[in-house]
Amino acid sequence: MGDDVDFRQAQADILALLDDSPIMSGDVRGDVRELVRVGEIGLAFDTLCSWLFEDSLAISRSYYERLRVVANYLEEPAALERLDELIVD
């Protein structure tokens, strides 16, 4: 049961990160939501991070820390690679 709760929390966290993200593309937002819906949370998270980086979208330090927490849970540290370059305070 614990893993199920953690998985659902990770789904909720990714959707919250998406909602709070500076990503404007409806297609990307839809893709991430669909990946979360079908349980592909690692891919959803990687997609979210990739778009942040590819579009050079500014993020806050607190947003980056939220990304880091999810990356640690998913064991996806590579997804955060170079995202620290996007932090604006």
What would the pLDDT profile of 45-86 be if each residue is shown by its tens digit?
A: 999 999 999 999 999 999 999 999 999 999 999 999 999 999
Calculate the alpha carbon distances from 35 to 1, 38, 42, 88 in Å. Answer: 22, 5, 9, 28
Q: Are 28 and 47 in contact (CB under 8 A)?
A: yes
Angle in degrees, CA 1, 31, 83, rounded to 5: 85
| Predicted local confidence at residue 89, as pLDDT | 79
**What predicted TM-score, i.e. pTM, was given to this entire model?**
0.93
DSSP 3-state of 87:
strand
As a whole number of Å, the CA-based R_g of the chain is: 12
